[in-house]
């Protein structure tokens, strides 16, 4: 196996006639934490949509472990090992937390769920995975609450949990800390760092503190294109990057 | 979760209905019709309540079941159990086709497609009058017989239908409790997320259609044997509408709600039509009332009543129990 888990070549996405993404070449190293930053509207979320198959690439190709997945459907990509969280929380609000995670764990083997006589509880593995994620995210006290009734911080953690429950090899997190309190942010930072040990983590983040702290590689995007890529230190000192952020200082310590 | 929504409670209520109807109704025909529509409406609920699909095509499957029974029983006298099974298979196949094509669009366009199919199948039935009897329908559809005796008396046919109803209802409860049923709920809640965690959501919707179509056609076949005719009106758009209305009146959050919806509608129609020839007007008013004040339907009313009677201090929606 190569060292590259996920790779794109000349990836482009069009919304109508608008090029939201153009000529993006990415190489995501296995078991690394790779972050994507860039100003609003840079195309970061669109990149995730393309990688997970939610939107079709209008040009270029995507390879997972060297295998072309450009035309693979979104649900098939989950089975190949790609899972994601959303920037705008996307849960099953009227189902309880544990059921949300059980479904996410079941999604890896959806054909089983087509049998209308099989009980959900018969999939012990999915339940075990759900419970493991609950523990890891410290959501134990609220497992039987409706997802829609959880606090914002809990919902954001569950959002990340939904991606973890699919047991992916590549995990895509879209602004996992958005709107979180300071304690939650610290916990999320630890979690992402941990995930990076045995997963390939690709994550979008506006909080430069976290990005500079835990990333192995940082890609900066602007206007749908890749602007700069490098280690946190290289990116932070790049004059182009400074300009792209229009004076918004990039701060944060490098671990 | 309200204890009445638990699967065993639902099943017990269905059994109770079967036992209670003969005590309160004089007409065995009406009681049988209630049970037939109860299962058909519950099948519609699988789509509307569990999958979030508002299908105007249920009349197609009902009509197909009706014609299957009509044709097989008047021309070839096929054994009734075989006819019922055949109707279910045919209904499932038709629903798979209709579902497969309709779910390519979402929202209003999905509803429009099911409506269009409903018209299409009506005209097919109308046109091929050699097979369907056209306007007149197929006359002289016999009732089933058991051990050589025909179940011609209304209440003996009621017993036959009651057994079918309980079996079908139990099957539907099983479907909604299964991992399949729970995935349908997830798709209804947030289809984008369901796809993002790996579920091929279209396939699940098509299967929901197939199951719904099978049960609806099964009910259609029973209905033809009940009234002794396979009429064109069973495949009309009006039948689709009727099934939907009953589903909404009953409430789409539980299967037994559908039994209530069917019972309420048919009993009300029966009572009003003897009082006043323009009874459909009153029915319209009832519908307006439900839409305005009872958005969870009759079942929502039952749940509230239960809470008031048995759970004094209304716990603020405690989904504490597991399902
Ligand atoms: N469905 C859509 N249809 C048309 N244009 C879209 C659509 N989604 C996004 N866009 C546009 O594509 C561009 C990139 O959007 P995208 O959401 O990928 O940006 P982003 O980098 O994630 O921004 P943010 O930091 O605000 O989340 C934006 O100009 C946006 O307006
Ligand atoms: Mg974004």
Give the helix, strand, coil percentages of chain A, each rounded to 5.
Answer: 40, 25, 35
A174 and A213, same domain (yes or no): yes
Tell me how far the alpha carbon of residue A178 lies from the centroid of ligand 1, in angstroms: 16
Instruction: Report how far apart the first and last C-alpha atoms of chain A are (Å, whole number).
Output: 30
Closest by CA position to B244, among listed B118, B80, B84, B83: B118
Which of A104, A119, A145 has the CB atom closest to B178's CB atom? Answer: A119
A153 and A210, same domain (yes or no): no
A58 lines ligand 1 (CB under 6 A): no
Residue owning the nearest CA to atom 29 of ligand 1: A41
Question: Is residue A219 one of the residues assigned to a domain?
Answer: yes
- Calculate mean pLDDT across residues B173-197: 94
Question: Is residue A86 one of the residues assigned to a domain?
Answer: no
Q: What is the ipTM of this complex?
A: 0.89
Question: Is residue A26 one of the residues assigned to a domain?
Answer: yes
Q: How high is the pLDDT of residue B18?
A: 94
Question: Is residue A56 one of the residues assigned to a domain?
Answer: yes
A44 and A72, same domain (yes or no): yes
Distance from CA of A239 to the nearest CA of B (A): 37
A41 and A71, same domain (yes or no): yes
pTM > 0.80: yes or no? yes
A41 and A155, same domain (yes or no): no
Report whether pLDDT(B322) > 80.
no
Question: Is residue A45 one of the residues assigned to a domain?
Answer: yes
Between B279 and B69, where is the model more confident? B69
Residue owning the nearest CA to atom 9 of ligand 1: A46
- Residues of A whose CB is below 8 A from B317: 146
Q: How high is the pLDDT of residue A2?
A: 66
Categorize the per-residue pLDDT at A245 as very low, low, confident or very high, splitting at 50, 70 and 90: low
The least confident of A125-129, B45-49, B211-215, B283-287 is B283-287
Mark which of A144, A167, A190 sits at the end of a domain: A167
Identify the contact set of chain A against chain B, taking CB-CB distances under 8 A: 52, 54, 73-75, 78-79, 83-84, 86, 90-96, 99, 103-104, 106-108, 110, 112-120, 122-123, 144-146, 162, 165-166
Tell me how far the alpha carbon of residue A176 lies from the centroid of ligand 2, in angstroms: 11
Report whether pLDDT(B313) > 70.
no
Phi, psi of A62 (to 5 degrees): -125, 135
Burial class (CB in 10 A: 0-12, 13-18, 19+), A225: middle
pLDDT tens, position by position, A9-58: 999 999 999 999 999 999 999 999 999 998 888 899 999 999 999 999 99
Whether A46 contacts A21, CB under 8 Å: yes
For the CA of A46, the closest atom of ligand 1 is: 18
A77 and A139, same domain (yes or no): no
For the CA of A16, the closest atom of ligand 1 is: 4
pLDDT tens, position by position, B227-236: 988 888 888 8
A73 and A97, same domain (yes or no): no
Task: Name the closest residue on chain A to residue B170, using Cα atoms.
Answer: A117
- Taken as a whole, chain B contains a residue count of 323
Mark which of A167, A185, A216 sits at the end of a domain: A167
Task: Say whether A114 sits in a helix, a strand or coil.
Answer: helix
Question: Is residue A187 one of the residues assigned to a domain?
Answer: yes
Q: Kindly report the average pLDDT of chain B as a whole number.
A: 89
A73 and A147, same domain (yes or no): no
Structural domain range at position A150: 91-167
Q: How high is the pLDDT of residue A250?
A: 53
A159 and A185, same domain (yes or no): no
A178 lines ligand 1 (CB under 6 A): no
| Number of domains, chain A | 2
Task: Name the closest residue on chain B to residue A51, using Cα atoms.
Answer: B196
Report whether pLDDT(B226) > 50.
yes
- Calculate mean pLDDT across residues B252-263: 92
Q: How high is the pLDDT of residue B171?
A: 96
Distance from CA of A153 to the nearest CA of B (A): 19
Q: How high is the pLDDT of residue A236?
A: 83
Report whether pLDDT(A211) > 60.
yes
Between B271 and B88, where is the model more confident? B88
Q: How high is the pLDDT of residue A244?
A: 66
Instruction: Kindly list the structural domains of chain B, giving each domain's residue range(s) and its CATH number in brackets, ordered by start.
Output: 3-310 (1.10.3470)
* CATH number assigned to the domain comprising residue A179: 3.40.50.300
Question: Is residue A121 one of the residues assigned to a domain?
Answer: yes
A175 and A62, same domain (yes or no): yes
Rounded distance between C-alpha atoms, residue B102 and residue B115, angstroms: 10
Q: Do B198 and A75 touch (CB under 8 A)?
A: yes
Mark which of A148, A167, A186 sits at the end of a domain: A167
Phi, psi of A13 (to 5 degrees): -135, 135
Number of cross-chain residue pairs from A and B with Cβ atoms under 8 Å apart: 107
A189 and A151, same domain (yes or no): no
């Amino acid at each position: 196996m190569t060292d590259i888990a996920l790779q794109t070549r000349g990836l482009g996405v069009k919304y109508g006639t608008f090029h939201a993404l153009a000529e993006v070449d990415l190489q995501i190293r296995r078991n690394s934490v790779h972050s994507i930053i860039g100003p609003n509207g840079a195309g970061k979320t669109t990149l995730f949509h393309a990688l997970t198959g939610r939107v079709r690439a209008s040009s270029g190709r995507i390879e997972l472990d060297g295998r072309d997945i450009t035309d693979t459907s979104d649900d098939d990509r989950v089975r190949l090992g790609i899972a994601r969280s959303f920037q705008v929380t996307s849960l099953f609000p009227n189902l309880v937390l544990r059921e949300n995670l059980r479904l996410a764990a079941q999604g890896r083997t959806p054909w089983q769920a087509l049998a209308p006589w099989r009980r959900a509880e018969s999939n012990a593995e999915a339940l075990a995975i759900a419970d493991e994620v609950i523990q890891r995210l410290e959501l134990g006290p609220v497992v039987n609450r409706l997802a829609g009734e959880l606090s914002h911080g809990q919902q954001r953690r569950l959002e990340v949990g939904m991606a973890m429950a699919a047991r992916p090899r590549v995990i895509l997190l879209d602004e996992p800390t958005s709107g979180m309190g300071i304690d939650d942010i610290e916990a999320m930072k630890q979690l992402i760092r941990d995930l990076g040990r045995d997963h390939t983590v690709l994550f979008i983040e506006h909080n430069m503190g976290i990005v500079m702290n835990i990333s192995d590689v940082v890609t900066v995007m602007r206007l749908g294109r890749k602007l700069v890529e490098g280690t946190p230190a290289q990116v932070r000192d790049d004059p182009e990057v400074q300009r792209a952020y229009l004076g918004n200082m990039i701060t944060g310590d490098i671990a | 979760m309200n204890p009445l929504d638990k699967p065993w409670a639902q099943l017990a209520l269905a059994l109770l209905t079967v036992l209670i109807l003969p005590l309160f109704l004089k007409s065995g025909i009406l009681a049988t019709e209630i049970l037939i529509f109860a299962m058909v409406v519950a099948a519609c609920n699988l789509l509307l309540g569990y999958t979030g699909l508002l299908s105007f095509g249920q009349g197609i499957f009902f009509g197909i079941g009706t014609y299957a029974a009509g044709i097989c029983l008047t021309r070839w006298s096929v054994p009734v159990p075989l006819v019922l099974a055949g109707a279910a298979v045919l209904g499932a196949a038709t629903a798979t086709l209709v579902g497969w094509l309709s779910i390519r669009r979402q929202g209003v366009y999905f509803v429009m497609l099911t409506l269009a199919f409903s018209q299409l199948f009506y005209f097919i039935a109308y046109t091929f009058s050699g097979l369907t009897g056209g306007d007149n329908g197929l006359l002289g559809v016999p009732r089933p017989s058991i051990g050589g005796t025909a179940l011609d008396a209304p209440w003996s046919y009621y017993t036959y239908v009651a057994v079918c109803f309980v079996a079908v209802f139990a099957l539907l409860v099983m479907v909604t409790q299964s991992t399949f049923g729970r995935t349908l709920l997830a798709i209804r809640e947030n289809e984008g997320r369901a796809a993002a965690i790996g579920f091929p959501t279209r396939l699940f919707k098509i299967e929901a259609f197939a199951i719904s179509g099978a049960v609806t056609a099964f009910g259609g076949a029973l209905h033809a044997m009940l009234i002794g005719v396979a009429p064109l009106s069973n495949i009309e758009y009006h039948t689709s509408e009727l099934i939907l209305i009953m589903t909404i009146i009953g409430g789409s959050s539980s299967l037994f709600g559908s039994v209530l919806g069917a019972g309420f509608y048919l009993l009300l129609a029966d009572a009003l039509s003897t009082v006043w020839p323009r009874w459909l007007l009153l029915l319209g008013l009832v519908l307006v009332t439900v839409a305005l004040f009872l958005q969870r339907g009759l079942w929502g009313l039952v749940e509230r009543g239960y809470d008031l009677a048995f759970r004094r201090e209304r716990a603020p929606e405690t989904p504490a129990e597991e399902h």
